[in-house]
Amino acid sequence: MIAPTSGAADLEVGKPFPEIILPSLDDGKPVSLGSFRGRKLVLHVWASW
Amino acid sequence: MPGWHEATQKHRETGAIQTVGIVQEQHPDRTRLFMQWQRMDWPVLVDALNLLAVEVVPITLLIDEQGIIRFRGDLESLDAFLALERPASELTPEFPAPPDLDQLASTARDPESQRRHADALFLWGGPSNLDLAIATYSKILAAKPSHGATHFRLGVAHRSRYDSEHRKPDDFQRAVAHWGKALELNPNQYIWRRRIQQYGPRLDKPYPFYDWVEEARRDIQDRGETPAVLPVEPRGAEIAHPSKSFATSPTQQATSPDSQGKIYRDENGYIAAELTLVPASLAPGAAGRVHAVFRPNEAIQAHWNNEVDDLTLWIDPPPGWQVDQRQLQVPNPQQAVSSEVRRLELEIRSPDDFAAPVTLQGYALYYVCEDVRGSCLYRRQDLELEILPKG
């Protein structure tokens, strides 16, 4: 899980994306962002409003 | 996200890229309806606590095969990203187990590990662990009162408990107060700001947050599909349109329906009423939104009698204060009796010299019955909301 003190500054070009585990919208089960390594990833942070 | 969804579709189909959404919302299930409406099929992860610590949305990160962020950007960077020659490797799917809550609890001695424990309780512990998540965030704040992210997360936890069966009095007001405190500590944090604006006054709104829901449902139904169910229906402030001026309605001049206070009070607590102010404190000349909620007391099987007058809320603003409506009503539904939660919202504006706490007063009138003794009565409930000046 991401350290709670990590800030937006960590999401900078050239830095590794933090290892973070979040619930899936589908079923609430934990998903690790690390499991997407190995292929290019488009990560979109958004809200429906 | 719809733009990115379209732009990446063919590359997803060829396997050149993967796509993931992370949603920053108090009610993430609404995203499900949005995606059904827009026919979007990305995997989406939920970050209601803003563990990512992003200050705005949307943000798109283009991340290479080794997990390094290569672009932070707009749709134009997609081609350059695709052209990057990086060694691809086999995907190694991980199916992490949720953190062990007991182990986190036993090692949570400093604020940092306590926060990890509280986050895990919220994310993985289910509604029954919200009490402990709230207690843990509160403990951290007792030691570190100026940690904005903890105030924000405590607010999220309070609002989540408010929306659950485990709700406690003032949960919503506490949520708004902690979001306000967080924003005071970092006014540039727009994820925090939006969480207040979502429930706040029209003067302070950047846009209507969830006015798309109704259109989405119509379109989905027209396609012959069943719209995704929303556990918490967006209403009032959440679908209200922004306004540039504070408008008062003609009912401003209406007369109090019980000016003498003769109607018997609801001393048996047939109805639990709660007022919440958003934001929690007001600057001079600022608007706030008052949420009034009326819940029939389940313990005595209280319910509304719908064959007589509508539930009426009357507001007596303090001198110098404006209200957009003095008298509000919930129209009775068709059926003779019902026991739904009833909600009303109004907006108030503080005077330009607002500097000391005041009390907004009002009362509600309603017909209510209970099944224990089988009585039906017309009752009044006096309501008060203490309003503090900001800062």
pLDDT digits (tens, 9 = 90+) for B94-104: 678 888 999 99
pLDDT digits (tens, 9 = 90+) for B285-342: 999 999 999 999 999 899 999 998 999 999 999 999 999 999 999 999 999 999 999 9
Q: Does B83 touch chain A (CB under 8 A)?
A: no
| Cross-chain residue pair A4–B112, CB shorter than 8 Å | yes
B70 vs A3, A13, A25: nearest CB:
A13
Q: Which of B118, B112, B113 is nearest to B132 (CA)?
A: B118
List CB contacts of A23: < 8 A, sequence separation 6 or more: A29, A30, A31, B45, B46, B123, B124
For residue A10, which residues of chain B lie inside 8 Å, CB to CB? Answer: 53
Helices (H) and strands (E) in chain A, counts: 0, 3
The pLDDT of residue A9 is 52
The pLDDT of residue A47 is 95
The pLDDT of residue B250 is 61
List CB contacts of B344: < 8 A, sequence separation 6 or more: B292, B313, B328, B329, B330
pLDDT digits (tens, 9 = 90+) for B177-230: 999 999 999 999 999 999 999 999 999 999 999 999 999 999 999 999 999 999
Task: Give whole-number Cα distances, B52 to A10, B45, B191, B286, B333, in Å.
Answer: 9, 12, 11, 32, 44
pLDDT digits (tens, 9 = 90+) for A1-49: 333 444 455 789 999 998 889 999 999 999 998 888 888 999 999 999 9
Question: Across-strand partners of B383?
Answer: B362
| Cross-chain residue pair A14–B28, CB shorter than 8 Å | no
The pLDDT of residue A4 is 41
| Cross-chain residue pair A39–B18, CB shorter than 8 Å | yes
Q: Does A44 touch chain B (CB under 8 A)?
A: yes
* Cβ count near B118 (within 10 Å): 29
| Cross-chain residue pair A2–B51, CB shorter than 8 Å | yes
CB A11 within 8 A of CB B69: yes
Higher pLDDT, B28 or B91: B28
Name the closest residue on chain A to residue B30, using Cα atoms: A48
Rg (CA), chain A: 12
pLDDT digits (tens, 9 = 90+) for B50-70: 999 999 999 999 999 999 999
**In whole angstroms, what is the distance from residue A20 CA to residue B52 CA?**
8
**Average confidence (pLDDT) over B362-384:** 92
Model pTM?
0.94
B23 vs A32, A42, A47: nearest CB:
A47
For residue B30, which residues of chain A lie inside 8 Å, CB to CB? Answer: 48
**In whole angstroms, what is the distance from residue B11 CA to residue B310 CA?**
57
For residue B141, which residues of chain A lie inside 8 Å, CB to CB? Answer: none
| Cross-chain residue pair B120–A1, CB shorter than 8 Å | yes
B45 vs A25, A34, A49: nearest CB:
A25
Name the closest residue on chain A to residue B191, using Cα atoms: A47
| Cross-chain residue pair A41–B18, CB shorter than 8 Å | yes
